Amino acid sequence: MEDFLPSYLLAYGLDWFSLLVRWLHLITGIAWIGASFYFVWLDNTIRPPKPGSELANKGVSGELWAVHGGGFYHPQKYLVAPKDLPEELHWFKWEAYSTWLSGFALLFIVYYFNAQAMMIDKSVANLSSLQAVGVGLGSLLFGWIFYDLLCRSPLGKRDGLFGIVMFVFIVAVAYVLSTLLSGRAAYIHVGAMIGTMMVGNVLMLIIPGQRKLVAAMQQGLAPDPVHGQKAKQRSVHNNYFTLPVLFIMISNHYAMTYSHSYSWLVLAGIVAAGVLIRHFFNLRHKGITNWVYPAVGVLLLTVVAIAIAPKAPVKHVQAGDAMTSAAQLIQVQAIIHARCVSCHSAQPTQPGFAAAPAGVMLHSPELLRQHAARVYQRSVVLKDMPLANLTQMTESERAIVGAWVETAMQDNKK
């Protein structure tokens, strides 16, 4: 117990650290995404002032009246910049930086510090922890370089074709990662790669471009509109990236997606649906309503849901089987203790776990019966548990577990 206590407390401390960083990531992400959605909506909604009006003469390209929180607002957008630089100017940057930094910290806490459990699936690729982490980090860097070079190429000026090429690239990366990492780790790194592109846009293009505009005004020079145009392009890209990233952030709760044998294709369908739905809203804010985009998006989600629906598992209990549920439970308990209880118990012994995942404990017959349906779904149907099959549960053992649950269900119907 003395040897176990320090590692247990370390895992408990990491759980708290993970909780606080995840909370921070969620808060800053809401602030960043909220600002992104608002400004894209504002750009699409503002209307040009009347020719010859005071606003038009001031160089205002669009205005909007809005009411919120009991007050009226009158935002205005200039073609390039106002004549005089205001004394106070708010910069939207720390929302993006804080979101990425907290997300990167989560990668280390949840995945890199426990790569054997969270990133490696030996049935996919027999990597070391260092190799798995290297693949993860490399995908972030490679993704940003490819995306940035593509934006700067002639293709970057052709929005439709650029979007198709980026979609194909993201799907290709998802496929490659699915052949190297566990399904869950592959998904989260696709999301982290897209998130890195988004924050790279803010850090490398949007903020530097705004600084150049401000610097020119401070020197009494006319600002170059190209900086604003480039920043706007990257900002719109970030807007379309948002829904796919949000899905990937929650995907670890839905093993039916990342555990599928064609997980990269599942992700492709969901990402495409997210982009189409986002495009519908962007057009709607411009006064254009085209229900084809959300209809195709919903159709894609429906197709994915049907395609990955679990097939009825092979029945492990045949008519006339003599073994009762109680007798099978003895066998199942031995399997669960050997393969699952290291994580799913009151005091997990698996490094990196201070508490049972999702609160599911299986160390007693009563708890095993309580969670029988969940055990059946994850270990017999989806087969994504044990996590990355760390404890090497065999197909025959899964069959025994399946037979026990089926027998218990039959007994309950009698």
Residue 22: inside a domain, yes or no?
A: no
Q: Is 126 exposed, middle or buried (0-12, 13-18, 19+ CB in 10 A)?
A: exposed
- Residue 168: pLDDT band (50, 70, 90) is very high
Distances (CA, A) of 199 to 193, 250, 302, 392, 410: 10, 20, 32, 39, 54
Is residue 251 domain-shared with residue 137, that is, in the same domain? yes
Is residue 258 domain-shared with residue 334, that is, in the same domain? no
Q: Which residue has the higher pLDDT, 164 or 353?
A: 164
pTM (2 decimals)?
0.83
Give the per-residue pLDDT at 316: 53
Give the per-residue pLDDT at 332: 85
C-alpha dihedral over 12, 17, 22, 25, to 10 degrees?
180
Among 21-25, 220-224, 270-274, where is mean pLDDT lowest? 220-224
Residues in Cβ contact with 56 at an 8 Å cutoff, skipping those fewer than 6 apart: 48, 49, 50
Among 153-157, 204-208, 283-287, 367-371, where is mean pLDDT lowest? 367-371
Q: How many residues does the chain have?
A: 414
How big is the CA angle at 238 (ends 308 and 159), to the nearest 5 degrees? 90
Q: Is the pLDDT of residue 80 over 50?
A: yes
Residue 123: inside a domain, yes or no?
A: yes
Choose from 69-73, 178-182, 327-331, 368-372 the range with maximum mean pLDDT: 178-182
Give the per-residue pLDDT at 1: 40
Number of domains in the chain: 2
pLDDT more than 90, % of the chain: 43
Is residue 192 domain-shared with residue 329, that is, in the same domain? no
Choose from 40-44, 68-72, 130-134, 325-329 the range with maximum mean pLDDT: 130-134
Give the per-residue pLDDT at 249: 93
Q: What is the mean pLDDT of the chain?
A: 86
Whose tokens are 């739905």? That residue is 277
Q: Is the pLDDT of residue 410 over 80?
A: no
- Dihedrals phi, psi of 287, to nearest 5 degrees: 95, 10
Mean pLDDT score, 400-410: 78
- Residue 2: pLDDT band (50, 70, 90) is very low
- Dihedrals phi, psi of 76, to nearest 5 degrees: -135, 145
How big is the CA angle at 334 (ends 332 and 338), to the nearest 5 degrees? 115
Among 79-88, 277-286, 304-313, 348-357, where is mean pLDDT lowest? 348-357
Rg value, the chain, Cα? 26
Give the per-residue pLDDT at 319: 44
Is residue 392 domain-shared with residue 270, that is, in the same domain? no
Are the C-beta atoms of residues 402 and 313 closer than 8 Å to each other? yes
Is residue 269 domain-shared with residue 338, that is, in the same domain? no
Q: Is the pLDDT of residue 324 over 70?
A: no
Residue 16: inside a domain, yes or no?
A: no
Q: Which residue has the higher pLDDT, 310 or 71?
A: 71
What's the domain range around 207? 91-275
Is residue 105 domain-shared with residue 250, that is, in the same domain? yes
Residue 267: inside a domain, yes or no?
A: yes
| pLDDT per position as a tens digit, 100-123 | 999 999 999 989 988 888 899 888
Give the per-residue pLDDT at 367: 83
Q: How many angstroms from the chain centroid is the CA of residue 375?
A: 25
Angstrom distance (rounded) from CA 24 to CA 92: 17
Q: Is the pLDDT of residue 345 over 90?
A: no
Give the per-residue pLDDT at 98: 95
Among 179-183, 280-284, 312-316, 394-398, where is mean pLDDT lowest? 312-316
Residue 111: inside a domain, yes or no?
A: yes
Residue 258: inside a domain, yes or no?
A: yes
Is residue 267 domain-shared with residue 329, that is, in the same domain? no
To the nearest 10 degrees (0 to 180), the angle between helices 225-250 and 207-218 is 150
